[in-house]
Homo-oligomer: A and B are copies of this chain.
């Protein structure tokens, strides 16, 4: 019998999707599931994107340029200039979602056994991309009692060695909802620069901020141009998750040229998706404003409802649309499974993502779950109530 690779055996299952079979079973049994497990917004995509697809005037679906059309990258530069980020089309590679952007990045900067330092909890699929590239994720633990702020620079410095190639953060942060301040970004970027490391920042939730904080991008300051790699995507901003259009932006031309070689090998990003994403960039500012105002409302509802539950702690999401909740249970994955297999209220239950998969350190996050507030406020209220009553039944 031929054998599976070690990395294939060891790559962890996505905590966001690993309970899907239980959810499917529940649905077969007539239970409606409120999905708080996955960052799939229920908000409509921009009408400009959908109409552009309906109006396509082509008879042949050709390969796109490997780095994405010049028109699209030019249009992206316009979008960025509105966010104090000045880049040119040559600084951009269009990818199949931020997922591929991260894969190309890991491959371009890391050889097998090289290390990337990431504050945990972090977006679980970073683990997947790292495994695929045989890169070691070195965690620095951020704490729920600090609302998951950036850990001390010393805790990063201690982890830097010859194999370290980059520090990776997500801002605003999936899964914690934390928004790094300008000072935090500059301090961690300086640390990277001092040590000749890349500083990779996943900014797909750039607009999703609910406090007075202003988002500070890693590409705002020329100081960090050699070191900075920006990961981005149209998926969340424009509710275009299924399009699969992301991008890598960097002023380090060596890095971009290397990414392009990986991009050339896989030929091109999806043509139709690029049409939709391109039009989304030109959608009315009211669209984004409406999206943010809706999430802002949902966040308030979420915080109000969670506050009614005894014995839990939760991170205050300043941005993105996630919160980490610490539950009064030993094994949050078992509780999440219980909600799908043994519990419902009025034929309705909830799916959440066990948080241990968002940590790289063994045993961390075992009593935590991540929830995505991607449902409307009525559904969020019902979902949190189900968690509340479910917890009582589970623990009691």
Is B17's CB under 8 angstroms from A264's CB? yes
Which chain B residue lies CB-closest to A15? B264
Tell me if A44 counts as interface (CB < 8 A to partner B): yes
> Could you tell me if A242 and B268 are in contact, using CB atoms closer than 8 angstroms?
yes
- Enumerate the 10 nearest inter-chain pairs by beta-carbon distance, A residue then B residue, closest first: A128-B265, A242-B271, A8-B258, A99-B266, A112-B112, A61-B242, A270-B270, A14-B264, A272-B272, A8-B108
Q: Which residues of the partner chain B approach A41 to less than 8 Å between Cβ atoms?
A: 60
Decide if B125 touches A267 in the complex (CB within 8 Å).
yes
The total of chain A residues at the interface (CB under 8 A) is 87
Known: A60-B239, A242-B61. A109 touches B255 (CB 8 A): no
Instruction: Report yes or no: B239 in contact with A61, Cβ–Cβ below 8 A.
Output: yes
Residues of A154-169 whose CB lies within 8 A of B? 165-166
For A8, give its contact among B38, B59, B129, B261 (CB under 8 Å): B261
B44 pairs with A60, CB closer than 8 A = yes
Complexed CA–CA distance, A49 and B112 (Å): 41
| Cβ of A2 under 8 Å from chain B | yes
Report whether over half of chain A's contact residues are helix, strand or loop; otherwise say mixed: loop
Specify which chain B residues have a CB less than 8 angstroms from the CB of A370 in the assembled complex.
none
Question: Is A165's CB under 8 angstroms from B2's CB?
Answer: yes
Q: Known: A42-B60, A45-B61, A272-B273. Contact between A132 and B107, CB under 8 A? A: yes
**A368 proximal to B (CB < 8 A):** no
On whether the beta carbons of B96 and A258 are closer than 8 Å, the reply is no
Report yes or no: B262 in contact with A243, Cβ–Cβ below 8 A.
no
A261, B128: Cβ atoms under 8 Å?
yes
* A297 CB to nearest chain B CB (Å): 19
Complex partner residue of A166 from B2, B252, B273, CB under 8 angstroms: B2
B40 touches A59 (CB 8 A): no
Residue of B nearest to A112 (CB): B112
- Point out which of A8, A40, A56, A197 has the most chain B C-beta atoms below 10 A from its C-beta: A8
Query: Of residues A100, A103, A264, which shows the largest number of chain B Cβ atoms within 10 Å of its Cβ?
Result: A264
Closest-by-CB residue of B relative to A110 is: B5
The reply to whether A272 and B243 form a contact with Cβ atoms under 8 Å apart is yes
* Residue A11, interface by CB 8 Å: yes
Assuming the A-B contacts A1-B226, A5-B107, A134-B111, are A244 and B265 also in contact, with contact meaning beta carbons closer than 8 angstroms in the complex? no
Q: Which residues on the B side are within 8 Å of A304 (C-beta)?
A: none
Tell me the residues in window 259-299 of chain A with beta carbons closer than 8 Å to chain B beta carbons: 261-262, 264-273, 276
Distance, CA A396 to CA B58, complexed state (A): 44
Query: Is residue A334 within 8 Å, beta carbon to beta carbon, of the partner chain?
Result: no
How long is the Cα–Cα vector from A165 to B4 in the complex, in angstroms? 9
Complex-state Cα separation, A4 to B64, whole angstroms: 26
Q: Does A386 contact B (CB under 8 A)?
A: no
B64 adjacent to A266 (CB under 8 Å):
no
- A265-B14, A270-B272 known; A2-B197 Cβ under 8 A: yes
Considering the complex, give the chain B residue whose CB is closest to the CB of A99: B266
In the complex, chain B residues whose CB is within 8 Å of the CB of A110: 5
- Bound complex: CA A23 to CA B219 (Å): 33
**B14→A254 contact, CB < 8 A:** no
Report B-chain residues with C-beta under 8 Å of the C-beta of A239: 60-61
Q: Bound complex: CA of A266 vs CA of B11, how far in Å? A: 13
Are the CB atoms of A266 and B53 closer together than 8 Å?
no
Please, could you name 20 A-B residue pairs with CB atoms under 8 Å apart, sorted by A?
A2-B192, A2-B198, A2-B255, A5-B110, A5-B111, A7-B107, A8-B108, A8-B262, A14-B265, A17-B264, A42-B60, A49-B61, A50-B56, A50-B58, A63-B241, A99-B267, A112-B112, A132-B262, A132-B265, A273-B273
Which listed residue (B3, B44, B192, B242) contacts A64, Cβ 8 A?
B242
